[in-house]
Chain A
Amino acid sequence: MTPWDRRLLSEEFLTRSDAEFNPSGNDQIAAEILWGAAAQLLLIEIHREPTLNFTDHGSYRDAATFLQAKSTGTVVLTDFDCANKLHGHFYHGHLSESDLRSCRRITKRFIQRLGTYLDQSTEASPPHTA
């Protein structure tokens, strides 16, 4: 997958997550899809940054730590940890409604800020057309 493929997939996951976060939806599935939207953006950075390497789930946290430093705090590590809680919720369903709502809002901030950061990169921009 190219970086742009991942950007598009992230946007699609964001839309699907919003659709699933409703009274008739499943909040564990919604949480996982929203986590996926964040993970896709992190994978762009993991794959392009030579000092990062994807080995396991902890690699996402390494990437978020790296990004917080590289973006001088624009991309926030604690926002990532809230996104990570959504991934945990998919497996365990342990978040209260308020916690889930709060993590959802913060994860969206993470995605928005990471997207803005990636916009500065040509690799994550739309492919040029002839």
Chain B
Amino acid sequence: MKIRHEAHTIMSMLPDRQRAFIIGSPERVSECIQALSDADIEVWHAYPINALATGLMGTSNPPDVGPAQIPELFLNYLADIPPGPLAQGWRQPILEAVKDAGERYFNAADRNFQLGDVRSAAHDLCSAVNCAVIGQAAIRGWPHADASNDINTMLGLATGILPADQTQFRAVIDNTAEENLDLNSAYGAATGILQAVDHGYFHAFGYTTETATQLARHAFGLITQTGGPTP
């Protein structure tokens, strides 16, 4: 099973979080991800973070968890419930891991800018922003497998309505009040950095190392601070 690298980075940072103790070590995360190859991919492929429990239970040595240790996420899996919102106890570790992962990418971007590798730096900046989006999607039980999921997540965060299809996306975005578009604006601007690099107009459009970093950090901050009701 191919998992986008940002989700992999977030998952690999979970064991550092006290309340994610059940996973164990970073090596254990790798084992879980490997085990996902044999898991029910049809059900979980769009939900890599939510699928972590699936992989964990699929390892050769699944955790011997007592009722008090079993987060809702595991109960859902064990009860064969389709992907849904992460249990309350798992949200904070996920969001903390997202911040760690984001900082890792921002640091990588700084290094790559210093080396003059603008393309890699732009990828790092967008990966940081993607981490924020992925985390928000995961805790809500929304798909977070690719960029199309991400843009739906952003609209869902801004409006409370996760578009089910393209027709619904059009209707929601066209009817969203102006004051609710800040998240979409920040995300759109941040993803534009990478598009500008990939298509060769980064400098021509007036981007600099500093402005690109500011845009990505602005988007990351807005998205990670997004509260609102979660299911």
Contacts and interface: CB of A to CB of B under 8 A. Distances in A.
Interface of A: 56-62, 76-79, 81-82, 84-85, 87-88, 91-92, 94-99, 101-103, 105-106, 109, 112-113
A117 to B, nearest CB: 14
A96 B204 contact: no
> How would you classify the secondary structure of chain A's contact residues: helix, strand, loop or mixed?
helix
Nearest to B178: A109
Interface in B183-218: 184-186, 188-189, 191-192, 195-196, 198-199, 201, 203-207, 211, 215, 218
A79 B185 contact: yes
Contacts of B198: 94
B192 A109 contact: no
B188 A98 contact: no
Kindly name the residue among A76, A81, A91 whose own CB sees the greatest number of chain B CB atoms within 10 A.
Answer: A81
Contacts, number: 95
Most buried by A among B155, B185, B191, B205: B185
Given A58-B205, A76-B185, A84-B205, A105 B192 contact: no
A82 to B, nearest CB: 4
B179 to A, nearest CB: 9
Contacts of A61: 205-207, 211
A112 B189 CA distance: 18
Given A76-B182, A84-B205, 7 more contacts: A56-B204, A58-B205, A62-B206, A81-B192, A88-B201, A97-B166, A99-B188
A58 B198 CA distance: 18
B176 interface: yes
A91 B199 contact: yes
B127 interface: no
A85 B185 CA distance: 11
A91 B196 CA distance: 11
A98 B186 contact: no
Interface residues of B, number: 36
A22 B181 CA distance: 23
A114 B199 CA distance: 28
B170 interface: yes
B172 to A, nearest CB: 10
A57 B200 CA distance: 14
A78 B173 contact: no
B20 interface: no
Contact of B199 (A56, A79, A92): A92
B189 A78 contact: yes
Nearest to A95: B195
B188 A82 contact: yes
Given A57-B205, A78-B215, A99-B151, A106 B185 contact: yes
Contacts of B166: 97-98
